[in-house]
Chain A
Amino acid sequence: SGAAWARGLLSWARPERWLPCGSVLPLSCIHTSTFLQKIGKWEKKNRIVYPPQLPGEPRRPAEIYHCRREIKYSKDKMWYLAKLIKGMSIDQALAQLEFSDKKGAKVIKEVLLEAQEMAVRKHNVEFKSNLHIAESQTGRGRYVKRLRCHGKGMFGMMKISRCHYFVKLVEGPPPPPEPPRTGFDQAKEYVQQLRSRTLVHTL
């Protein structure tokens, strides 16, 4: 029992456990990063590797996925900024965000610059201006409920909202904007719909 006690003591007093992760000791601490609950789906999209393209195929444009989690801002207010820069080239988007008065504009600008840097370093993008924003979305982060004190001893529960921001940059010039639907187009579609009707439950 004395030996078991000593072994237990030694197993408790392991010096390599006391040192922080990422230190010099090579035997322990393989994971050098902090414990993440989950690697989000958006981050995993950067890891897909396509098979090499055949000689005749057109060049597949590079896609870069980037996001920022738990931004202290409302997802609805952030959505307006995401909608603003959808489909713009990255330079135009950065210009618009620089002179926007919103709090989320600064955050989105940082995210775009990070993504641009990542594109040039890791994703084999030749020109950093040759990127456009294919997708930009917001998501709901973790909300926290807090007490908000009013006068006369009344209180209400307020929720402190956070959001995520996701962006996908694609190499190449931005696609031309869709021409607005004219009455002629709508009429044509209607006529097409009428013509494509068939008789059902018949021979």
Chain B
Amino acid sequence: VLVLVRSPLPRLRALLQRCWGRLERGLWPGIFGGQSPLWGPALAVQGPALVPQGIGDAVAPSLPESVVWMAAPKQRRTIEVNRCRRRNPSKLIEIKRNIDVCPECGNLKQKHVLCGYCYAKVKEETRLIRMEIYKKEAGPFNAPTVETVVLYEGEKPTEKDEGKRIIERARKRPSWFVQN
């Protein structure tokens, strides 16, 4: 009969390594003179409580085992339940009651917001005025220190516009751009 005999040397080595490690970390001070640990009470019992087990054995649970305590749905949600959730009145879009008609152009606008069409109109005109300004200035850092006045076709600068810079625009004055 063949008997397998395992050599005790590696086990002994592992044990000695563990003991030495615990000693170095100060977890096993009871070795020195057989006294109780310096921080423990005098009546503390020396026993297995001072030699905490399982320090080296403690290993974080690997992924396949940690799945046990993750939240997961138990049953498939039926389409009826799904519909109740998706079509709940809180999820439906509310109809807006703050839409009015712009008195200037007749497009729709929201009550607390400027009319989009009129704003676009003004933006376009401003862009053309700015182009005239850039043509006049001819380069950066040439902005004058005086005010600017925009004059349209057939308008003369008044005595109030004495020292101001004049920008000419080659069109009729728009009705919404009031002079002065």
Q: Do A and B bind each other?
A: yes
Q: Is the CB of A81 within 8 A of B93?
A: yes
Task: State which of A81, A83, A96 has its C-beta within 8 Å of the C-beta of B96.
Answer: A96
A–B Cβ pairs within 8 angstroms, 11 of them: A76-B86, A80-B91, A80-B93, A81-B93, A83-B93, A95-B108, A96-B99, A98-B99, A98-B108, A99-B108, A100-B96
Q: How large is the interface on B (under 10, 10 to 19, 20 to 34, 35 or more residues)?
A: 10 to 19
Q: Is B110 an interface residue (CB 8 A)?
A: yes
Per-position binary interface string of chain A over residues 158-189, scored 1 when its CB falls under 8 Å from any chain B CB and 0 otherwise: 00000000000000000000000000000000
Q: Which residue of B lies closest to A88 (CB)?
A: B95
Determine the distance from Cα of A136 to Cα of B20 in the docked complex, in whole angstroms: 79
Q: Is B146 an interface residue (CB 8 A)?
A: no
Q: Which residue of A lies closest to B87 (CB)?
A: A83
Determine the distance from Cα of A20 to Cα of B166 in the docked complex, in whole angstroms: 58
Q: Is A25 an interface residue (CB 8 A)?
A: no
Q: Is B92 an interface residue (CB 8 A)?
A: yes
Determine the distance from Cα of A102 to Cα of B96 in the docked complex, in whole angstroms: 14
User: Main secondary structure on chain B at its contact with chain A?
Assistant: loop
Q: Which of A78-106 contact B (CB under 8 A)?
A: 80-81, 83-84, 95-96, 98-100, 102
Q: In whole Å, how far is B93's beta carbon from the nearest beta carbon of chain A?
A: 5
Q: In whole Å, how far is B113's beta carbon from the nearest beta carbon of chain A?
A: 9
Q: Which 6 A-B pairs have the closest CB atoms?
A: A84-B93, A95-B99, A80-B93, A95-B108, A99-B110, A99-B96
Q: Which of B78-113 contact A (CB under 8 A)?
A: 86-87, 91-93, 95-96, 99, 108, 110
Per-position binary interface string of chain B over residues 109-122, scored 1 when its CB falls under 8 Å from any chain A CB and 0 otherwise: 01000000000000
Q: How large is the interface on A (under 10, 10 to 19, 20 to 34, 35 or more residues)?
A: 10 to 19
Contacts of A100 in B (CB 8 A): 93, 96
Q: Is the CB of B108 within 8 A of A80?
A: no
Q: Is the CB of A96 within 8 A of B92?
A: no
Contacts of A96 in B (CB 8 A): 95-96, 99
Q: In whole Å, how far is B163's beta carbon from the nearest beta carbon of chain A?
A: 46
Q: Which residue of B lies closest to A101 (CB)?
A: B93
Contacts of B99 in A (CB 8 A): 95-96, 98-99
Determine the distance from Cα of A98 to Cα of B99 in the docked complex, in whole angstroms: 10
Q: Is the CB of B95 within 8 A of A80?
A: no
A83 and B92 contact, Cβ closer than 8 Å, known pairs A76-B86, A99-B110: yes
Q: Which residue of A lies closest to B107 (CB)?
A: A98
Q: In whole Å, how far is B110's beta carbon from the nearest beta carbon of chain A?
A: 6
Q: Which residue of A lies closest to B95 (CB)?
A: A96
Per-position binary interface string of chain A over residues 41-82, scored 1 when its CB falls under 8 Å from any chain B CB and 0 otherwise: 000000000000000000000000000000000001000110
Q: In whole Å, how far is A82's beta carbon from the nearest beta carbon of chain B?
A: 10
Per-position binary interface string of chain B over residues 53-94, scored 1 when its CB falls under 8 Å from any chain A CB and 0 otherwise: 000000000000000000000000000000000110001110
Contacts of A102 in B (CB 8 A): 93
Contacts of B93 in A (CB 8 A): 80-81, 83-84, 100, 102
Contacts of A98 in B (CB 8 A): 99, 108
